[in-house]
Amino acid sequence: MKIREHGARAACSFGALAAVAAIAAAPAIAAAPALATPPAEPYAPPTSGSSTTTPPFSTPNTDSCPQRTLPPAPIDTSEVPAPGEPTPSPLPVPSPAIGGERMGECGVVTPKGAPALPADISATSWLVADLDTGRVLAAKDPHGRYRPASTIKVALAIVALRELDLDKVVIGTQADADVEGTRVGIGPGGRYTNRQLMQALIMCSGNDAAHAIAAQLGGDEATVAKMNDVAKSLRAMDTRAATPSGLDGPGMSTSAYDLSVLFREAMSVPLFAELIHTEQVDFPGYPADPKIPDDKDHPGFPIANDNQLLYNYEGAIGGKTGFTDDARQTFVAAAERDGHRLAVTLLQADVRPIRPWAQAARLLDYGFALDTDARIGKLPETGSAAVQPSVPLASPPPRADGAPDVEQSAHQGARVATMIGIPLVVVVALLWGRRLIRRR
């Protein structure tokens, strides 16, 4: 079985739109795929001080540093190099650990006197950091090496937003449409601005969008080299991209620490901060294929953000999701509370006992509850060995009416108003899906 990402073409269009509609009534459905993924549990603050979950979903023990040099063994052949290509050697392990002495620890790392961790965290590795100061507040196996899945698109976004003309129109190709994994629904002959491709990449994790973007950056190999150069320049030394999209490939790895570093850098780009905070946009269609008899024009469609934290957590700024068979669930996101902005990363998580976004929410609650001077390490600052303010971080834009987007009740109300009637569409889709299943 080849490693793949969840979803299929238009999984983030109709499927995610339906998910948002369902969330408006009861925030309990993951964005994509619309018919195949079990419903997510609504987020609730933790009620226990236990650091483990109910068996068999106990948090994996990493005290012995099992992932110090390499991610866990793959489950199939997706990382086997192409014929004639060498197997990548493990990346060197920096010593001392980047970010401070305690960042070299492999188990749970918390400040002295900190309360017990929240329950139900199945992620093998995670980290909570202050976006503005770079302080690392708590972590588990911060430099352990894992696969990033689509969270590596954060690095692709950094490269693309630095190099591409966002107003340039790109023509979709059959190669874009044929990529493996999650696709937003790019079609051959469709006309897309780079801004729209970035929407598809960041909001919907479209591998077809990643392909179209990489083609403009010199192709997959050149794009991966640029992504790795960005990681190295930020001292994200556990990170090596193998594909632009995050599909697993030879030598692919990152760490919870590095993913926080990459996300923090991306958050300095205003458009990235805007797009991870955007709930829904319209995406172009594409023309009929003359090679297909009786094919008709494919109209445009709305696409929705696939990050459930954005809809369900007060103060959520946005983030990026990921999944492959080998990486499991990966996640990076941020939220703001009382003037503080925290980021959380999860690697090799599971959908149980609660969804990754809900695990992230509990870790964010934990981070916000710590003392304002709590720290166990720091994210890199160029030319500095101390915790200092970073380059200015972009803030998500206000709502269209000019009001600040901070109150969850108002946030939910707007969604309910704009999504009225869509639950009916969800029901129709479910019935249609069941008919297809019966036919098979």
Joined together, the tokens standing for residue 16 give 């995610």
**Is-catalytic flag, 205?**
yes
64 is catalytic: no
Confidence of residue 272 (pLDDT cuts 50, 70, 90): very high
Selecting among 13, 125, 140, 153, the annotated active-site residue is 153
Catalytic position from the list 13, 125, 150, 255: 150
Least confident range of 225-234, 391-400, 431-440: 431-440
**What's the pTM value of the predicted model, to 2 decimals?**
0.82
Given 78, 125, 205, 260, the catalytic residue: 205
User: What's the rounded mean pLDDT across residues 9-23?
Assistant: 47
Q: Which helix (H) or strand (E) holds 111?
A: none
Q: What is the pLDDT of residues 123-168, one digit of tens each?
A: 999 999 999 999 999 999 999 999 999 999 999 999 999 999 999 9
Q: Is 153 a catalytic residue?
A: yes
- The CA distance from 198 to 184, in Å, is 11
Could you tell me which residues come within 8 angstroms of residue 332 by beta carbon, excluding any fewer than 6 positions away?
Answer: 151, 154, 259, 260, 263, 319, 320, 343, 344, 345, 346
CA distance 150 to 332: 10
Beta strands in 141-180 (DSSP E): 169-171
Of the listed ranges 48-62, 202-216, 288-302, 320-334, the least confidently predicted one is 48-62
Q: Which pLDDT belongs to residue 76?
A: 86
Per-residue buried b or exposed e for 244-277, using 16+ beta carbons within 10 Å of the residue's own CB: bbbbbbbbbbbbbbbbbbbbbbbbebebbbbbbb
